[in-house]
Structure 1
Amino acid sequence: MTDSSPTDSTATPANAGKFLWFLPTHGDGHHLGTTQGSREVNLGYLRQVAQAADQLGFFGVLLPTGRSCEDAWIIASALVPVTERLRFLVAVRPGLQSPTAAARMTTTLDRISNGRLLINVVTGGDPVENRGDGVFLPHDQRYEVTREFLAIYRDLLAGKQVSYAGNHLRVEESELIYLPAQTPHPPLYFGGSSAAGIDVAAETVDKYLTWGEPPAQVAEKLATVKKAADQANRTLTFGIRLHVIVRDTDTEAWAAAEKLIEHLDDETIAAAQSTMSRMDSEGQRRMAALHGGRRDQLEISPNLWAGVGLVRGGAGTALVGSPETVAQRILEYMAIGIDTFILSGYPHLEEAYHFGEKVLPLLPKDHTPPIIDKARTEQRGEVVANSTKPR
């Protein structure tokens, strides 16, 4: 899509938002950094969270990826049949998957979910975990792989035959027999705060994601990304990843925030910060800089609390307050161009109800059903010679 005003570097304010929840496939509980008040996370519990999000009217759920999580594709496949409208934001992993295998997985899950798949493109920012997965490329070269992966992956999902030879990836006469339900493919979400990551986003994806920094910092980042997209003659939309702590009053919400980290000791925080410091993710560096590993100055912006990031990698900030307060802070992010909010809270089942019942009704929403091309996706008869559809 071509931007009609490429010289404008300010993101357009969002009139309505998409609100997603989170499936805690790496654990859940009432407190961070301890087994006290912890909860067994199994398929039955994840089904409860997904069905609650579906019934409460969330747009979708994010499934995290990495060695600390259950496999997102398998969990999503198990939960699609027990939900009705909920979309599933699932990761493809350039460097870990071939683009052709990822495209086939994508088209299958999109078809069996009736167009309820969203794709999260994850390059990976932990060199230790990457090496454990067999990925030894430095930071910027991993984004080169991501760009090549997406060149192949997007064309395959659009129904094209692809021959491609890059510095890292090569395919010849590759094509899909089955096409995804959504045209030309499920929406592509992506987060990357480095220059290399922003370049990939500007050229290839649909929605750029940031973690929950204060609004002024988010606005600055969005302006940088939008300028890069303008130069590539493309338009991106923007999303943010945040935790929420919602109670009936601001005072009760702040008390709940303190309770969430009441069992954290300095040794646990130091060990977590040491582990996260090894990562070469610019986004992770920016998250850590918000609190500096200290627990005495955690409100970094009005009602924006960095306590989660003391021990959790990735998204480390939470909006804290009454329903009206949290809704107002969300509207402030919408005013700078954020239209998609990927939210979570502890425990995830209860907090889904706190937010879904008390905050979601206060917000303008864009939760329209996916558009599906039935004529393009209908399949009848057996594929001939493993190669072509029957006439």
Structure 2
Amino acid sequence: MAMAVSTRGSEPIRFAYWVPNVSGGLVISKIPQRTSWDADYNRRLAQIAEAAGFDYALTQIRFTAGYGAEYQHESVAFSHALLAATSRLKVIAALLPGPWNPTLAAKQVATIAELTGGRIAVNIVSGWFSGEFRAIGEPWLDHDERYRRSEEFIRSLKGIWTQDNFSFRGDFYRYADYTLKPKPSAGLPEIFQGGSSRAARDMAARVSDWYFTNGNTPENIRAQVEDVQAKARENGHAVRIGVNAFVIARDTEAEARAVLQEIIDHADPEAVKAFGHEVKNAGKASPEGEGNWAKSSFEDLVQYNDGFKTNLIGTPDQIAERIVALKDVGVDLALLGFLHFQEDVQYFGAHVIPRVRALEAARERRAEAA
């Protein structure tokens, strides 16, 4: 079988990090973490990431406490704070249709784009936690209905940002001769989305700029990439691929594996099982009866988005080689979580990214010679 290749050919793989604007870090574990959800810590982290060579930061959206996340900063406002502290980094603000209306979102993002030279993007989260929707008084739609709403949300954003007298008549959103000014002047804000269900992948293949998938092996990721890209080609659409990973980079593989084991040993069993119950139920609600976490073990679920499965755990050389292997199967961006964010991001920038770039350059030279 032919190997999938990145939709961007020889472009360098890009790097993003999960912004810890939610307490508890990126693992459901009681292991001590030198990571904070507060604003000063995150401003400094954004500056470290920018200097380290990261391209994007992704802010999280949550409205209720759960699974160790007792405190949550709102994503759009927090994104703006990080943009104000940096000069190159692009920040992806998570938006949840239901609490957000496309009209407000389009205006918020257009204004932030104007203030920051176009360094704002959005991640449209269709929703998986029914308890959160009930808590804030939002209707909980059936699985595929949530993705239909998200697609209308994205189509509305794009229409508002590109057209005067925009009109749209959907099942969830309607517009009649609406004109937003100013529109984003530094190019359209990129639109990201996640999910592994048929509805999620089909939506990405129609309307999204980026498709995020949970962590997985290169072989399993390749199957998802080939599926999404084939559908996108049928639609005359282009979409890039991002994959979630949790990075534990240490001087030796033994050190890195010991950290992973310590995270799992200190996992909060009740919280992990509750999280697993909720996300697996969300997947079972899809027509195909399978979602992002359908095959996730207890150990996998300790990291919210199956980041351990991607296996970026080891020495800088091992991790760099695995990142290039992800690129070989069509991944354009690695979305990364860390245990001790500031020092781990700095270490990754100093020791892993240069190795990735060297491997990419060596491949380019071999390709040119061939």
Say if 2:38 is the partner of 1:42. Answer: yes
Say if 2:155 is the partner of 1:164. Answer: no
Cα drift, residue 256 of structure 1: 1.5
Cα drift, residue 279 of structure 1: 2.7
Separation in structure 1 between the aligned mates of residue 27 and residue 296 of structure 2, nearest angstrom: 21
Which of the residues 338, 341, 344 maps onto 1:345? 338
Say if 2:258 is the partner of 1:255. Answer: yes
Contact in 2 for aligned 1:95/1:142 (Cα 8 Å): no
Percent identical across equivalent pairs? 26
> When you count helix as a share of all residues, which structure comes out higher?
2
Query: 1:336/1:252 Cα in 2 relative to 1: closer, same or farther (>3 Å)?
Result: same
Where do 5+ consecutive residues of structure 2 fail to align?
Answer: 66-71, 359-370
- Equivalent residue, structure 2, for 1:313: 304
Cα drift, residue 139 of structure 1: 0.9
Deviations, residues 136-166 of structure 1 (Å, cap 9, x unaligned): 2111111111122222210111143211111
Separation in structure 2 between the aligned mates of residue 250 and residue 176 of structure 1, nearest angstrom: 53
Contact in 2 for aligned 1:253/1:321 (Cα 8 Å): yes
Separation in structure 2 between the aligned mates of residue 347 and residue 27 of structure 1, nearest angstrom: 13
Separation in structure 1 between the aligned mates of residue 324 and residue 35 of structure 2, nearest angstrom: 33
- Equivalent residue, structure 2, for 1:330: 323
Contact in 2 for aligned 1:28/1:346 (Cα 8 Å): no
Count of aligned residue pairs for this structure pair = 342
Q: 4+ residue stretches of structure 1 with deviation over 6 A?
A: 281-284
- Equivalent residue, structure 1, for 2:184: 180
Which amino acid in the other structure matches residue 217 of structure 1? Answer: N
Separation in structure 2 between the aligned mates of residue 31 and residue 337 of structure 1, nearest angstrom: 27
Which of the residues 217, 225, 231 maps onto 1:222? 225
Deviations, residues 153-202 of structure 1 (Å, cap 9, x unaligned): 1011114321111122111111111111332x111111121111122111
Say if 2:148 is the partner of 1:151. Answer: no
Cα drift, residue 37 of structure 1: 4.8
Match of 1:279, SS state, is helix
Cα drift, residue 40 of structure 1: 4.3
Deviations, residues 44-71 of structure 1 (Å, cap 9, x unaligned): 1111211111121211211111225311
Deviations, residues 200-224 of structure 1 (Å, cap 9, x unaligned): 1111111111111111111001111
Q: Which structure is larger by alpha-carbon Rg, 1 or 2?
A: 1
Separation in structure 1 between the aligned mates of residue 122 and residue 45 of structure 2, nearest angstrom: 20
Contact in 2 for aligned 1:287/1:316 (Cα 8 Å): no
- Equivalent residue, structure 2, for 1:264: 267
Q: More deviation in 58-67 or 266-275?
A: 266-275
Please show how residues 238-387 of structure 1 align to structure 2 within 5 Å: 238-264=241-267, 266-280=269-283, 285-291=291-297, 293=298, 295=299, 306=300, 309-310=301-302, 312-317=303-308, 318-364=311-357
- Equivalent residue, structure 1, for 2:365: none
Which amino acid in the other structure matches residue 224 of structure 2? Answer: K
Separation in structure 1 between the aligned mates of residue 143 and residue 26 of structure 2, nearest angstrom: 35
Contact in 2 for aligned 1:30/1:38 (Cα 8 Å): no
Match of 1:209, SS state, is strand
Which amino acid in the other structure matches residue 24 of structure 1? Answer: P
Match of 2:225, SS state, is helix
Separation in structure 1 between the aligned mates of residue 185 and residue 24 of structure 2, nearest angstrom: 33
- Equivalent residue, structure 2, for 1:210: 213
Separation in structure 2 between the aligned mates of residue 276 and residue 11 of structure 1, nearest angstrom: 31
Which amino acid in the other structure matches residue 206 of structure 2? Answer: E
Q: More deviation in 273-282 or 243-252?
A: 273-282
Q: What is the aligned-residue RMSD (CA, Å)? A: 2.5
Separation in structure 1 between the aligned mates of residue 269 and residue 94 of structure 2, nearest angstrom: 33
Query: 1:351/1:32 Cα in 2 relative to 1: closer, same or farther (>3 Å)?
Result: farther
Please show how residues 196-207 of structure 1 align to structure 2 within 5 Å: 196-207=199-210
